[in-house]
A and B are shown apart, each in its own frame.
Chain A
Amino acid sequence: MSTSLIMFVIFIAITLGITYWAARRTSGATSFFAANRQITGWQNGIAIAGDYMSAASFLGIAGLIAYNGYDGFMYSVGFLVAYLTVLLIVAEPLRNSGKYTMADVLAYRLSARPVRSMAAISTLTVTTFYMIAQMVGAGTLVALLLKDANISYNWAVIGVGTLMIIYVVFGGMLATTWVQIVKAVLLMGGTLLLSILVMAHFNFDLGAFFNAITHVQSTVGGKTVTTNYLNPGLLYKPPYGALDLLSLGLALVLGTAGLPHILVRFYTVPSAKIARNSVVWAIAIIGVFYILTTFLGFGAATIVGKGFITSHGGTNMSAPLLAQNLGGDIFFAFISSVAFATILAVVAGLTISASTSFSHDFWTNVVHGGQERTKGQEVFVARIAALVVGALSILIAILLGPTFNVAYMVGLAFALAAAANLPAILFSLFWKRFNTVGAVTGMATGIIATLVFIIISPSIMGVDPDTLTAGRHLIQAKAIFPLANPGIVSIPLGFIGAYLGTILSHEPASEAKYNELNVRANTGLGAEV
């Protein structure tokens, strides 16, 4: 049995223990959906970090930097700065005026049925894209990390999916929270250790480290080329690189504040003040992590090298291969299990936010007009929904297969969240005139625009040579829209849709209730406890 497999099993045992403990404490809706609102500020801060730092952060960014240098680091910056939007604008009003989901805030003023239906659709769309990226990534990764144990892609996907279903169905938000906390601690520990080893490799001489980064040697066509990896432009090249960079930046900085699985975390704390403190905790942890991606990414570029990574599993293996190079097989196994923990915690967060939205927004409030038919039905439906969401994710990930290109899907989820959810949340909180038609058109425009532009972008459209078998473009034609990330077009469209829908209609009821929402959001009066 490989060391990696043993460490995976230890992690699984710990998280199942947490789930068992949490399941015994979970009874009733508030405990299932919001961990009884008893999570403390620092706990929630760590859990947010654990919910947020996905495989795309840990393995993806390390790989992007290892392959493209500085341009990959741009993700790190955007992922962090985005938390200012969350801190300054969204976290506290959301905690003060909502109950379990993002839609609670919208439904305060607006007509509940249309707005909640749309918000549930939007939540499920965003989480689906995020989830597919994580699941396909998990499958390829686990299969690669556990190569010695002969675990195939399909079994890896089924394993990850089953675990996330168990966490959520039995342990609810409490188990999800603690799995995320354990993962965040592991991830930070692993990243710190790896960074120290990278610096030790350079005898703790930053000058030598940066000298290596600015003189990365590679062999192109038999000749040795020296590249400065600290210079921008290796990934985002003319003619559209600059615009793509802007588009990505916009999607990242505005998208986080619209990600359902992040927003639900603010309902797990006792008050808005603690929600605020937890964001600051998260900023500290996430900030340190993304600064350390410098060592992970550039370390892999300089110590391991692009050529070696490509022949040993590709970009996503950069961080684990760096660990192997610096700390041997045991450390490789440890970093691999950290990656595994990372994925599990994120997919659990996605599953619980999707099932909460389905049950609370759609089932209870849209179908049954806000009343549970029988006591405990909301939680029961959420558990079924988690099972269905999990099963569907497994199925989709298996159907798409390991060669499907998922790299763009996380960026797409951010663009979707920014274009569909953020305008509705912002206008609902700050614009008295805003109304139901505006919210529905805004969300619909945001979703449709993002999807359409991604379909006609180089992520989906492109002409591949016949020799290419893996990762082919879905549509074999020249891309109509030149940018990989649609944010720069779809986000403004989402705002325009919400604005036009509002001014072209009239809804005195929503204006009349603005004062209530405004007082609640700003004072915490009548907040859910």
Chain B
Amino acid sequence: MGQGGVRIEPEPGDLTAVSGGPGDVAPIGRDLPKPAHELTAAEDVDAATWDQVAATDEFRALVAAKIRFILPATIFFLVFYMALPLLVGYAPDLMKTQVIGEVNLAYLFALAQFVMTFILAYLYLRKANQFDAMAQNIIAKLGIRQGGTK
């Protein structure tokens, strides 16, 4: 669609006027495109635009920055977490070692999972502010008003 707006071919017998010069605020008829400032978001965003946005340096930088954080973080927490059932299952004697008083390694490592989750969530929350700023920047450059990230 792009600049085209919704373009409906007049049906036979339809007497709606096909008019609208460059000076008109909006074309009365169906034939001419709306001026750019009157397009709704849905009309303004189309397949070509998505590809253009995806190809911009800013967007690539955003995706790269996200992957740089999320991929290592995900691998880390999966390994850290799966280490618990692995160690508990296959090295139970090690995990039964009492570390603080009668509290054993198994319980402490389980508690460490909670601490790890809290810390990682906090780190991501902080990091994500950067992602938001980058995304806002991309949207601002497009000059599109939209409500998804208000």
Closest A residue to B129 by beta carbon equals A273
- Hey, which chain B residues are within 8 Å of A527, CB to CB? 146-149
Does A38 belong to the interface (CB within 8 Å)? no
CB neighbors of A among B79-136 (8 A): 81-82, 84-86, 88-90, 92, 95-96, 101-104, 106-107, 110-111, 113-114, 116-118, 120-122, 124-125, 128, 132, 135
| Residue from the list A70, A243, A528 in contact with B148, Cβ < 8 A | A528
Alpha-carbon distance between A231 and B106 when the two chains are bound, in angstroms:
7
Size bracket, chain A contacts: 35 or more
Alpha-carbon distance between A512 and B107 when the two chains are bound, in angstroms:
50
- Hey, which chain B residues are within 8 Å of A87, CB to CB? 121, 124
Known: A231-B96, A519-B53. A80 touches B148 (CB 8 A): no
A243 contacts B149, C-beta separation under 8 Å: no
Does B144 belong to the interface (CB within 8 Å)? yes
CB neighbors of B among A192-215 (8 A): 207, 210-211, 213-214
Closest B residue to A277 by beta carbon equals B125
Which of A282-290, A319-327, A493-501 binds B?
A282-290
A287 contacts B89, C-beta separation under 8 Å: no
Closest A residue to B144 by beta carbon equals A525
| Residue from the list B54, B77, B107 in contact with A81, Cβ < 8 A | B77
Does A270 belong to the interface (CB within 8 Å)? yes
CB neighbors of B among A68-113 (8 A): 70, 73-74, 76-78, 80-81, 83-85, 87-89, 96
Which of B16-24, B31-39, B44-52 binds A?
B44-52
A283 contacts B117, C-beta separation under 8 Å: yes
Alpha-carbon distance between A209 and B47 when the two chains are bound, in angstroms:
63
A525 contacts B45, C-beta separation under 8 Å: yes
- Hey, which chain A residues are within 8 Å of B113, CB to CB? 77, 80-81
Does A119 belong to the interface (CB within 8 Å)? no
Does A221 belong to the interface (CB within 8 Å)? no
Known: A248-B85, A527-B148. A519 touches B50 (CB 8 A): yes
Residues of A within 8 A of B (CB): 70, 73-74, 76-78, 80-81, 83-85, 87-89, 96, 207, 210-211, 213-214, 228, 230-233, 236, 241-243, 245-246, 248-250, 253, 270-273, 276-277, 279-280, 283-284, 287, 290-291, 512-513, 515-516, 518-520, 522-529
Closest A residue to B50 by beta carbon equals A516
* Nearest CB on A from B19, distance (A): 32
A74 contacts B114, C-beta separation under 8 Å: no
* Nearest CB on A from B58, distance (A): 10
B63 contacts A518, C-beta separation under 8 Å: yes
Size bracket, chain B contacts: 35 or more
Does B7 belong to the interface (CB within 8 Å)? no
B70 contacts A525, C-beta separation under 8 Å: no
Does B6 belong to the interface (CB within 8 Å)? no
* Nearest CB on B from A518, distance (A): 6
- Hey, which chain A residues are within 8 Å of B148, CB to CB? 96, 271-272, 524-529
- Hey, which chain A residues are within 8 Å of B85, CB to CB? 74, 242, 245-246, 248-249
Closest A residue to B138 by beta carbon equals A523
Alpha-carbon distance between A127 and B75 when the two chains are bound, in angstroms:
29
Closest A residue to B120 by beta carbon equals A84
A249 contacts B110, C-beta separation under 8 Å: no
B125 contacts A276, C-beta separation under 8 Å: yes
| Residue from the list B95, B117, B128, B149 in contact with A232, Cβ < 8 A | B95
- Hey, which chain A residues are within 8 Å of B128, CB to CB? 273, 276
B63 contacts A522, C-beta separation under 8 Å: yes
22 A-B residue pairs with Cβ-Cβ distance under 8 Å, sorted by A, are A70-B88, A77-B110, A81-B81, A84-B121, A85-B74, A210-B101, A210-B102, A231-B106, A246-B82, A246-B86, A249-B82, A271-B149, A272-B149, A273-B132, A280-B125, A284-B118, A287-B114, A518-B63, A524-B135, A524-B148, A525-B139, A528-B148
| Residue from the list A81, A245, A522 in contact with B88, Cβ < 8 A | A245
Known: A246-B82, A272-B148. A70 touches B106 (CB 8 A): yes
- Hey, which chain B residues are within 8 Å of A525, CB to CB? 45, 53, 138-139, 142, 144, 146, 148
* Nearest CB on A from B49, distance (A): 9
A74 contacts B102, C-beta separation under 8 Å: no
Alpha-carbon distance between A248 and B51 when the two chains are bound, in angstroms:
41
